[in-house]
Structure 1
Amino acid sequence: MDSETEQRIKDVVLGILREANMEETTEYKVRTAAAEKLGLDLSLPDRKLFVRQVVEDFLVSKKEEGEQEQNHQHQQQQQQEDEEQVEEEEEEEEDEKGKKQKREYDDEGDLIICRLSNKRRVTIQDFKGRTLVSIREYYEKDGKQMPSSKGISLTAEQWESFSKAVPKIEDAIRKLEED
């Protein structure tokens, strides 16, 4: 990150902190507001650390000015930041796990849970007011992926029964492979 960008981020963050209600403000809120004002992604690790440092420096300078009230707010801010940091780390872990599986929808608006192969997908769809888990083949028509009749759609109850039976199915497959 170049020094000009750092200075712009620092100026915006400090401006937000000066106007903010320190009882309610968290590092996450400051970073989000600054990202919107700057049009930059401040959730990148180096930028996130830089914003955190600016916030901490701001809080330390307020403390050094002798504001006892700020001291109390700093403790609350730290506690909120710690809570936010734990939440953010959990979100980041979920994001890292789900990066390959960001919410993706097919041409009919059905949520794609996973792609079993180039032509097979598992989707969640709403059909006549019922939620169905659909495992089926797709074919290409006019540049769009269309569902074929080859597959199965299970209601939530059927899916639950099936998913409970998966360990037994896996055991049976292992036994067949051993023979």
Structure 2
Amino acid sequence: MPKSKEYVSDSDDSSEEEVKSKKQKREREDDNKATKDEKKSAKKARTDDETVWDLGNNRQVNVRNFKGKYYVDIREMYYDKEGDLKPGKKGICLSMQQWRKFMNVVKEVDEVAKLKS
């Protein structure tokens, strides 16, 4: 009867202590891997945590992380068949540089908009 991988060694005369040692080492490696996986999922959860500002009329603003870069996304939303609110095609996604430039002209744009309305 062939031995399982857990008990296979270079020599057939391996002691129980060697077997226990190898098993413990394998368990530590598995624990370390599980810990790394937990850290990755925790990090992902933190980056996925988005604050959303509602602009009314199914429009929203949020800051998204995409491929390690942040963007300000102003988007019209739609409801899918299950009734969930999903982002639509209509909208704009600004890089942080573009967002800062936009914020520098907001007061001017607001003044012009007040004069015209």
TM-score under structure 1 length normalisation:
0.36
| SS in structure 2 of the partner of residue 111 of structure 1 | coil
Partner of 1:119: 58
In the comparison of the two structures, how many residue pairs are matched? Answer: 69
1:145 aligns to 2:85 (yes or no): yes
| SS in structure 2 of the partner of residue 143 of structure 1 | coil
Residue identity over aligned pairs, in percent, reads 33
Is the CA contact (8 Å cut-off) linking 1:124 and 1:133 kept in structure 2? yes
Partner of 2:72: 133
- Over 3 Å counting, the alpha-carbon distance change for 1:126 and 1:159 in structure 2 is same
C-alpha separation in 1, matches of 2:104 and 2:54: 21
Matches within 5 A, 1:71-86: none
Residue of structure 2 aligned with 1:155, choices 88, 95, 106 = 95
One-letter amino acid of the structure 2 residue matched with residue 117 of structure 1: G
CA RMSD in angstroms comes to: 1.4
Matches within 5 A, 1:12-91: none
- Over 3 Å counting, the alpha-carbon distance change for 1:122 and 1:148 in structure 2 is same
C-alpha separation in 1, matches of 2:57 and 2:67: 28
Q: Which runs of 5+ in 2 are unaligned?
A: 1-47
One-letter amino acid of the structure 1 residue matched with residue 64 of structure 2: Q
C-alpha separation in 2, matches of 1:129 and 1:145: 25
Greater strand content = 2
The alpha carbon displacement at 1:118 in A equals 4.5
Q: Which runs of 5+ in 1 are unaligned?
A: 1-108
C-alpha separation in 2, matches of 1:110 and 1:122: 14
Kindly report structure 1 stretches of 4+ aligned residues shifted beyond 4 Å: none
Greater helix content = 1
TM-score under structure 2 length normalisation:
0.54
